[in-house]
């Protein structure tokens, strides 16, 4: 039977300054101890440094040295003796990302309370963004991922914040494929409604679109109905609509940042190739799947060509692009807002409902209700500071992955 090893937890707190960590470990180096765990955080210039050490046979000298260091540095010192390696975490590791604008204490308290309700423990909290939203990552151990996700989804709705729960593991560092819907996700508004405005039927098309995105109508039938209303519109209008499109805030930042990390991107849309392919070229997107409008003598006929990219077609496209890129489906991220995105969100390793319809928010792994697409980067553990540092480094252009542009 193995005897638990005596340990000493050393905690220093107070005003931070350069050299604190070096001074502490220089003092420890004079004694026959091992470092088992280290945690350090600085908030508004206030330091909390925790170190778990093995306890020497005669700890009096070590204790005296630590008291001397704390006194010289003007820091508060806490010493706690125990048994075993407290650095060992229970199984069931997950990462909880909390987004708020603003993030209020009641929301943090509620999230922490639901985590405790499952018997899980918060091991570490790290702020990863302070604007335009506040985002924090919580490393949680001993959690039942499915149960925790269910509890926190309900709490997110009550507290009006966004929460993502993801299993921790090495897959977080793998190359990923990001598959995005276009209308009301990558861009603001619906392309077909802009086209319908030229045909004088925007109100009718908008009504059908809203019902289709809410899941009230069959997508293919509703799409054909709406496209029929566009008969006679000049093909040049497609270019005008593309030029008038406004990207969702944060869209360029998200693509630019994740491409630096070698991520692949795809646009999968129930919209139209003429516009989608141009958007892909604008953003250097690798893959696209969309519907093709029939054009005769420079005008839309009101009909579609080829296979329809509908709800099932989007999920099929995700799997096809993942296979082409050599990326496991478990390492894909799907982002969408409408009912025709549901299969795609379900198929992906992480499905993100972005400012989505209620039926989509209820089904997705996580929901983002904030109007900034680059908040998805926070769900991947990328901080705002890291994004800004990469953008500021002019000598570090984006790393472009090989493949279709």
96 contacts 148 by C-beta, under 8 angstroms: yes
Helix (H) or strand (E) holding 111: helix 105-117
User: In the annotation, is 181 catalytic?
Assistant: yes
Out of 16, 137, 183, 343, pick the active-site residue: 183
314 CA to centre of own chain:
20
Q: Is there a contact between 99 and 375 (Cβ–Cβ < 8 Å)?
A: yes
Beta strands 350-354; 366-368: pairing state:
parallel
Torsion sign across C-alpha atoms 184, 293, 303, 218:
negative
Residue entry with tokens 């901080």: 383
Q: DSSP labels for 349-395? A: SEEEEES--HHHHHHSSEEE-SS-TTHHHHHTT--HHHHHHHHH-TT
**What phi, psi does 250 have (nearest 5°)?**
90, -5
DSSP class per residue in 174-215: S--EEEE-TBTTTBSS-HHHHHHHHHT-HHHHHHHHHHHHTT
Q: 35-43 and 46-54 as β-strands: parallel, antiparallel, unpaired?
A: antiparallel
Q: Which of 312, 256, 319 is nearest to 287 (CA)?
A: 319
Q: How far apart are CA 362 and CA 366, in angstroms?
A: 9
CA distance 97 to 125: 10
Contacts of 176 (CB under 8 A, 6+ apart): 258, 263, 264, 327, 331, 332, 333, 349, 380
Rounded CA gap, 89 and 92, in Å? 9
C-alpha span between 269 and 275 (Å, rounded): 10
Q: Which residues are catalytic?
A: 181, 183
């Amino acid at each position: 039977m193995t005897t638990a090893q005596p340990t000493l937890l050393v905690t220093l707190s107070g005003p931070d300054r350069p050299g604190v960590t070096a001074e502490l470990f220089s003092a420890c180096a004079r004694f026959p101890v091992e470092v088992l765990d280290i945690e350090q955080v600085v908030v508004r210039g206030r330091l909390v440094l925790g170190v778990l050490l093995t306890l020497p046979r005669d700890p009096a000298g070590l204790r005296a040295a630590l008291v001397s260091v704390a006194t010289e540095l003007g820091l508060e010192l806490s010493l706690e003796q125990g048994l075993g390696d407290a650095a060992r975490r229970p199984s069931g590791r997950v990462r909880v990302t909390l987004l708020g604008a603003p993030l209020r204490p009641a929301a943090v308290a509620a999230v922490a309370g639901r985590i405790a309700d499952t018997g899980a423990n918060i091991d570490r909290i790290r702020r990863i963004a302070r604007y335009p939203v506040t985002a924090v990552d919580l490393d949680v151990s001993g959690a039942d991922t499915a149960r925790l996700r269910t509890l926190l989804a309900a709490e997110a709705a009550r507290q009006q914040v966004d929460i993502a729960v993801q299993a921790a593991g090495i897959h977080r560092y793998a190359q990923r494929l990001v598959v995005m819907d276009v209308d009301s996700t990558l861009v603001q508004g619906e392309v077909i409604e802009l086209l319908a405005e030229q045909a004088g039927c925007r109100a009718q098309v908008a009504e059908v679109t809203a019902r289709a995105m809410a899941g009230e109508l069959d997508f293919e039938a509703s799409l054909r109905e709406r496209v029929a209303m566009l008969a006679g519109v000049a093909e040049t209008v497609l270019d005008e609509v593309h030029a008038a499109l406004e990207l969702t805030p944060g869209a360029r930042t998200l693509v630019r940042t994740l491409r630096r990390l070698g991520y692949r991107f795809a646009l999968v849309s129930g919209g139209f190739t003429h516009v989608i392919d141009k958007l892909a070229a604008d953003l250097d997107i690798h893959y696209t799947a969309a519907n093709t409008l029939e054009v005769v003598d420079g005008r839309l006929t009101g009909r579609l060509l080829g296979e329809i990219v509908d709800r099932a077609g989007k999920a099929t496209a995700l799997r096809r692009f993942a296979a082409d890129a050599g990326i496991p489906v478990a390492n894909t991220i799907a982002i969408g807002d409408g009912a025709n995105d549901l299969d795609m969100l379900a198929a992906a390793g992480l499905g993100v409902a972005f400012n989505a319809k209620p039926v989509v928010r209820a089904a997705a792994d996580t929901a983002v209700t904030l109007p900034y697409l680059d908040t998805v980067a926070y769900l991947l553990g990328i901080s705002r500071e890291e994004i800004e540092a990469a953008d500021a480094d002019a000598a570090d252009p984006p790393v472009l992955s090989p493949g279709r542009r």
